[in-house]
Structure 1
Amino acid sequence: MDSGDEFFFHHFIYSSDDSSSDDEDLVVAALVVHDHIERQLPQYRGSVPGRAPNLSCNRERGHALLYADYFANTPLFKPDKFHRRFRMARHQFNHIREGVVAHDPYFECKTDALGKLGFSSYQKCTAAIRMLAYGIPGDLVDEHVRMSESTCPLSLYNFCKAMVAVYGPEYLRQPNVVDTERLLVTNAARGFPGMLGSIDFFARLAQGHSPPVNFEINDHQYNKGYYLADGIYP
């Protein structure tokens, strides 16, 4: 990257700290990072005409750039940018990544038949979380993590299975009485007395199975909780 390209790159990276919208910031950052990757990667064309390029070099370079951008001790992007683009803090990402790696060997960085390193757990988890966070297909994240369009959905599939297996018993279970009381107190402090929280548990309420809830609004007593969701309560 020459001096002009370096100025262009850093100008856009650090100008993203202004008051521009999240969407504009994300688009600009994605384009700049993509340009940065493309300019630094050698143009592998294979030693024999018609032969595929050495993709293992792309995998390793992709991990190196991703790690330098977000996971190094002094990453290129600040914590607020990490939270915006991953929808979580870095320590939460690492906690999840360590959990799925320990559960499923798929996320381990293995070597292929030629002894070349495969995709790292950072690349696989980043692809999966980006697809979940933004609801986008694999071909919109494959270039940044240097993974094929077909590998990104495979990472997503294995990631979701691992998440359910590892964290489901604690975070995907039905709330008990203690959980309900805690949720009611927390949401009442936020100005929503009687709100149970996530719409994910609405099926139990619809079936008539819900923990006891008692609260008062405008001198009226209510004995059933409700779930706050945009547009369903006129």
Structure 2
Amino acid sequence: MYAAQMIIEEDEEAETSSQRQTRRVALNRDREAGHDNLVAGYFADEHVYTDAMFRRRFRMSRRLFLHIADNLDQSDPFFTLRYDVRGQRGLTTLQKCTSAIRQLAYGYAANSLDKYLRMSKRTARECLHTFCEWIVRLYRKKYLRKPNANDVQKLYPAHEQRHSFPGMLGSIDCMHWPWQNCPTAWQGQYTRGDHGHPTIVLEVVVSQDLWI
């Protein structure tokens, strides 16, 4: 009994010591400066970067991005501007949505956005998960679904007019996705010279407007 009590006390002491060592250091990231820099670059009346550059970097138009950000802001308090218990300013809707989009569009690591958006790795991951969850909730019925009979009747003539190919439902597109956990024995057969690392080919059939 005494030995067991000693072990429990040692474990509790080790856990307390570990908690002290892993406690996060509060950094003053100047999140307001990150927001101002983002707005000046893409969202101000006289923004720095062009619409074409915005579409290339965000993989969507500025109008669509702002529409999604506004819907998220009205749906979940997580995306609103808040202040912590110390009275320090939090992250804005634009910063959180930009973080999620950059991670999705380019596969950015969560901690790579800190210098630009003034956002910690943990918060960037939370932005990504919450963003994806609400995108599914908000747009699943209209966009994240299989084509119905009405969609098919619209897609056939649209593709026939554009491609002169009757009975065409969609076009096959594919992309190479990095396979980080590829077994060593298989890396040779899954690696192309122009990529330099193992990839998996993802294929999808999409409509011309990328709706279906």
Decide whether aligned partners of structure 1 residues 52 and 107 sit closer, same or farther in structure 2, where only a CA change above 3 A counts. closer
Deviation at 1:71, TM superposition (A): 0.5
Partner residue in 1 for 2:152: 180
- Aligned residue runs from structure 1 range 113-192, under 5 A: 113-191=85-163, 192=165
Question: Structure 1 runs of 4+ off > 3 angstroms?
Answer: none
Letter in 1 for 2:106: Y
Decide whether aligned partners of structure 1 residues 53 and 177 sit closer, same or farther in structure 2, where only a CA change above 3 A counts. closer
Partner residue in 2 for 1:76: 48
Given that 1:138 and 1:150 are in contact with CA atoms closer than 8 Å, whether structure 2 keeps it comes out as: yes
Q: Percent identity?
A: 43
Tell me the TM-score normalized by structure 1: 0.60
Partner residue in 1 for 2:80: 108
1:65 paired with 2:37, answer yes
**How far does the alpha carbon of each residue in 1:145-189 deviate from its partner, in whole angstroms, 9 at most, with x for none?**
110112111100000001000111111122211111112222222
Partner residue in 2 for 1:54: 28
Deviation at 1:136, TM superposition (A): 2.4
Could you say what secondary structure the match of 1:164 adopts? helix
Letter in 1 for 2:157: V
Deviation at 1:102, TM superposition (A): 1.2
| Structure 2: tracts of 5 or more residues without a match | 1-24, 174-203, 207-212
Cα separation, 2, equivalents of 1:196 and 1:165: 27
Given that 1:195 and 1:227 are in contact with CA atoms closer than 8 Å, whether structure 2 keeps it comes out as: no
1:88 paired with 2:69, answer no
Cα separation, 2, equivalents of 1:183 and 1:135: 32
Structure 1 vs Structure 2 CA RMSD: 2.3
Deviation at 1:52, TM superposition (A): 4.7
Aligned mate of 1:196, from 169, 190, 195 = 169
Cα separation, 2, equivalents of 1:52 and 1:151: 13
| Structure 1: tracts of 5 or more residues without a match | 1-50, 201-225, 229-234
**How far does the alpha carbon of each residue in 1:93-148 deviate from its partner, in whole angstroms, 9 at most, with x for none?**
00010111111111011111122220001000000011111122212323211101
Deviation at 1:65, TM superposition (A): 0.3
Given that 1:138 and 1:152 are in contact with CA atoms closer than 8 Å, whether structure 2 keeps it comes out as: yes
Tell me the TM-score normalized by structure 2: 0.65
Letter in 2 for 1:81: M
Count of paired positions? 152
